[in-house]
Amino acid sequence: MRRGGKIPSTWFLWGGWVALLTLPFVGAASAVQIALAVGLGGIALHAARRVPLDSLASGIRQTASSGWSIAGRHAALLLGAGLLAMLTLPLHANNYVIDVATTTLIYVILALGLNLVVGQTGLLHLGYVAFYGIGAYTYALLSTGVHASFWIGLPAAMLAAALFGLVLGFPVLRLRGDYLAIVTLGFGEVTRLVLRNWDEVTNGPNGILGIARPSLGGWVLDTPASFYYLVLVLALLALFAMRRIFQSRIGRAWVAIREDELAARTVGIDVARYKLLAFALGAAVAGLGGSVFAAKMTFVSPESFTFFESVIILCMVVLGGMGSLPGVVLGAAVITILPELLRGVSDYRMLIFGAAMVLLMVFRPQGLIGSRSLAYEFRRPRRR
């Protein structure tokens, strides 16, 4: 709405440009089609703008904001409805939908954990998937090695991940910003390489098969629905724990560190301790997600824990709106469900997904639900 396309011919210029760009890859015929599509699409947009779109947009915005305020007033009701929908999902959905919902919930758990580190404490972490992998392998090894039950594997996975979180946390305490990002990225890659090459323990690239599913008493949770309920409970627990901890003294200390580390130190916050705590707790949550993932798939291999996975989880946190718990949940849901919805256009789904990520960021850089308190930091000084 702000940029480009004052006159329709601009769109044809863009169309021609895009056609030129794509020409070497798709050939002349497709390039012409692309040019026409961009040009005509742009003109259609332009024509649509003649319609009093601004008033329409402000109307939508008003409706939305009044919707928000209503939602705010009836938050409990809305939450109840959402919960009810999630609780009853397996009753009317098929296994595919339940499976996608379960995966979404696992990502919700992971995104919540990463949000603790990136959104709440402001530490840019690009190797988060390492802890996810450590959690998954911990349960996998305990289950296949000593036939430990899920209820032992789960805390063990969290503990192992948290320990590695501390191992990573100590040396990087001094690093900030992008340097922290690259060291955590390196840590993630090294972890994946160890998982892939340490054949004696991890069975190398073939991964570990035959991980036991969790059971309650004598009841094995091997149907999609029962497993879904397990993950739902764990995700809700994680969400609840996050809410509580963010409102506590610890959560406020993290925000203080995020906003201004020096100031936080000045008012007596033990920055090193709280950073380590953030690393360890975030890692523990990833370990939780990992053990659930291993139990769901009954199989783990190093290929599930690539850098790309870290980036996708980070996208969930940023896309939804950093530091905002509903935003993180929404971001995880959007990024997991969108590619599934696009299965109809199977070949093009990742293409559209990538474009959608760019568009979302360009038009809503603060994320879908940006947290108010975050409006301030992470922002560079304004130009002009």
Which spans of this chain sit near other proteins (rule: CB under 8 A)? 3, 17, 20-22, 24-26, 30, 118, 124, 171-172, 174-179, 181-183, 185-187, 189-190, 193-194, 196-197, 307-308, 311, 314-315, 318-319, 322, 347-348, 350-351, 353-358, 361-362, 365-367, 374, 378-384
Task: Note the Cα 361 to chain centre separation in Å.
Answer: 14
Q: Transcribe 267-330 into DSSP letters.
A: TT--HHHHHHHHHHHHHHHHHHHHHHHHHHHSEE-GGGG-HHHHHHHHHHHHHH-TT-HHHHHH
Phi and psi torsions of 306, nearest 5°: -85, 170
Nearer Cβ to other proteins (27/52): 27
Integer CA distances (angstroms), 285 to 111, 113, 187, 383, in order: 9, 5, 18, 39
Residue 47: CB minimum distance to other proteins, A: 22
Q: State the nearest-atom distance from the C-beta of 310 to other proteins, in Å.
A: 11
CB of 140 to other proteins, least distance (A): 21
Helix (H) or strand (E) holding 215: strand 215-216
Tokens of 340: 């599934």
Of 35 and 294, which has the nearer Cβ to other proteins?
A: 35
Q: Which is nearer to other proteins, 213 or 349 (CB)?
A: 349
Task: Pick the closer one to other proteins by CB: 26 or 236.
Answer: 26
Q: Which is nearer to other proteins, 84 or 193 (CB)?
A: 193
Q: Give CA–CA dist 116/128, Å, rounded.
A: 11
Give the nearest distance from C-beta 227 to other proteins in angstroms.
29
Token code pair at residue 292: 């659930």
Burial (CB < 10 A; 0-12, 13-18, 19+), residue 5, is middle
State the amino acid at position 154 in one-letter form: L
Please give the Cα distance from 114 to 132 (Å, whole number). 11
Shorter beta-carbon distance to other proteins: residue 224 or 302? 302
Could you tell me the smallest distance in angstroms from the CB atom of residue 368 to other proteins? 12
Nearest approach, Cβ of residue 133 and other proteins (Å) = 14
Q: How far is the CB of 57 from other proteins (least distance, A)?
A: 18
Which residue number, 151 or 378, has a Cβ lying nearer to other proteins? 378
Q: How far apart are CA 11 and CA 46, in angstroms?
A: 9
- CA-CA-CA-CA torsion sign (51, 52, 55, 61): positive
